[in-house]
Structure 1
């Protein structure tokens, strides 16, 4: 299959031609596929998003956000093309694995391994929040660990700009219910604390092999999130007290009382001094429960893909029409 896209207007980067490779994921709005650029032979990720008139601005917001981001902890945008029916984002190919799959590669992992990932995620969030951007879908699927053990935050389909002076509600739900913060569930004003909450859910999963708020009943899950009801005794018995105290802070029901990124960095549990690091390295967990969680997680993802299967036209020899002059392609980083 081939992909040929162009924006034939002043300031564009011309025509992008590539061979489409493996399907990486499929969601409500489109698909993500590996692609090999014909001109250079480089491998990229192509996110192909179909849109209609009513959701065009929502779809284009992902492009507007990505083109402004340049950080080593965040997936970088290579080029973007807007056509009358599709937004095509050509991004760096983040070679590696989703974070939890990276952990289960080993028989045991330590609390220090968990902290190492958290600190990198916090670096990415610090960059986003300093630019008044919230990700709003921090979850295992959207944190890639490269083969150099570097974290990359991906999928900015739920991301929004926020007002740091007067936070505002989004007016609609975004993200994944299991990882939404209480204020997202309630439709309250949204800001950086929502991402801190998502990070807290990730940490709980890594320290327990379980989801803190999951329930077979969506209403029950929503109630648990809104009231921040989770059970710390489900964490591994040897998880440290410092880790438990940190979880209590980041999974607080009230966004104003959750720590900022900088306050997280100052937390005793995340300190990089020799004794704290040594202590974390001695606290190790088997991957059995995490593997069980991932089996269940993958089953839910498969069900979601079936439910939201997107009908896209054949990619074979696709040549799209120029986009409107008001939307330009992104430059290379």
Structure 2
């Protein structure tokens, strides 16, 4: 571990492991506060430039998004020959994956409460010229007060005037990836709206809209199948919620809503309240 990190923080128990690092709880004696420390061992990264770019991309993007209350806040960065350590907010309220596992179907009001915070984070990212590109329940965290924090920007990309080129490359997670990502070529930030729409669908229905027996079959379903609302799963879901899902999980990118349009949709504005 980096000596400077250990001078400023006491590392505590492990909280989790991901593709690019290990997360521990850490404690600051100066502020008497607890944080999370994501440690990436540089020796464990492959020589693939896509893997190694996370060392540069994530801290830069988290700094860029630091003003957003629904994005995981970066507090400190420690970098040496062996490790990159990112000290961030501690989100000890679990993640959305855990909540979906314990309660597969949410009420419309509870879904809208999550969706409002998630789409506020996505809209902020897009206004800053950042596409997350891997929005999924595992990357949606909650702090001790229940506030949502969008995390894990290792696959994020800058777009717009500040970008050197248009976004491309297959990144993301099978259930949540947008079809245009799988088709190759260039795409835009609306890939995040598709992913968020899939998450809203799962919260309301308890299952993803497109799935298969493995990643390949799931990718094929994303590309081939139409969005459906099975009566057994959606009989109690309002027309307004289904209308929003159609506009988010829309294969025609030009017709798909932007993050700002999602926030202005009547179902979102009403907080998921049904119209009588």
Q: TM-score range by the shorter chain?
A: 0.7 to 0.9
Q: Is the 8 A contact 1:228 1:251 kept in 2?
A: no
Q: TM-score, normalised by structure 1?
A: 0.72
Alignment of 1:170-319 (within 5 A): 170=168, 172-233=169-230, 235-272=233-270, 277=273, 279=274
- How far does the alpha carbon of each residue in 1:231-274 deviate from its partner, in whole angstroms, 9 at most, with x for none? 3116332011111121111111122221012211222222228x
2:36 to 45, 52, 66: 45
Count of aligned pairs? 268
In structure 1, what is the Cα distance between the partners aligned to 2:178 and 2:156?
14
Q: Is the 8 A contact 2:106 2:204 kept in 1?
A: no
1:23 to 10, 14, 21: 14
- How has the CA–CA distance of structure 1 residues 38 and 148 changed in structure 2, closer, same or farther, with 3 Å as cutoff? closer
- How has the CA–CA distance of structure 1 residues 195 and 242 changed in structure 2, closer, same or farther, with 3 Å as cutoff? same
1:64 to 54, 60, 73: 60
Q: Is the 8 A contact 2:201 2:245 kept in 1?
A: yes
Q: TM-score, normalised by structure 2?
A: 0.86
In structure 2, what is the Cα distance between the partners aligned to 1:214 and 1:199?
16
1:126 to 105, 115, 123: 123
Query: 2:155 is paired with a residue of what secondary structure?
Result: coil
Query: 1:79 is paired with a residue of what secondary structure?
Result: strand
Q: Which runs of 5+ in 1 are unaligned?
A: 7-13, 283-333
Q: State the Cα distance separating 1:221 from its structure 2 match.
A: 0.9
- How has the CA–CA distance of structure 1 residues 269 and 85 changed in structure 2, closer, same or farther, with 3 Å as cutoff? same
In structure 1, what is the Cα distance between the partners aligned to 2:53 and 2:95?
29
Q: Is the 8 A contact 2:157 2:167 kept in 1?
A: no
Query: 2:77 is paired with a residue of what secondary structure?
Result: strand
User: Rg: which structure is higher?
Assistant: 1
Greater length-normalized contact order (CA 8 Å, ≥ 6 residues apart): 1
In structure 1, what is the Cα distance between the partners aligned to 2:105 and 2:54?
42
1:112 matched to 2:103:
no
Query: 1:178 is paired with a residue of what secondary structure?
Result: coil
CA RMSD, Structure 1 to Structure 2 (Å): 2.7
Query: 2:133 is paired with a residue of what secondary structure?
Result: coil
Task: Name the residue aligned to 1:161.
Answer: 158
In structure 1, what is the Cα distance between the partners aligned to 2:103 and 2:167?
42
- How has the CA–CA distance of structure 1 residues 264 and 40 changed in structure 2, closer, same or farther, with 3 Å as cutoff? closer
Task: Name the residue aligned to 2:141.
Answer: 144
- How has the CA–CA distance of structure 1 residues 104 and 226 changed in structure 2, closer, same or farther, with 3 Å as cutoff? closer
Q: Is the 8 A contact 1:182 1:228 kept in 2?
A: no
Q: State the Cα distance separating 1:217 from its structure 2 match.
A: 3.2
Q: State the Cα distance separating 1:111 from its structure 2 match.
A: 0.6
Q: State the Cα distance separating 1:227 from its structure 2 match.
A: 3.2
Q: Which runs of 5+ in 2 are unaligned?
A: none
Q: State the Cα distance separating 1:93 from its structure 2 match.
A: 0.7
Q: Is the 8 A contact 1:228 1:253 kept in 2?
A: no
Task: Name the residue aligned to 2:82.
Answer: 85
Q: State the Cα distance separating 1:103 from its structure 2 match.
A: 6.5
Q: State the Cα distance separating 1:228 from its structure 2 match.
A: 5.0
1:135 matched to 2:126:
no
In structure 2, what is the Cα distance between the partners aligned to 1:103 and 1:150?
16
1:36 to 13, 21, 27: 27
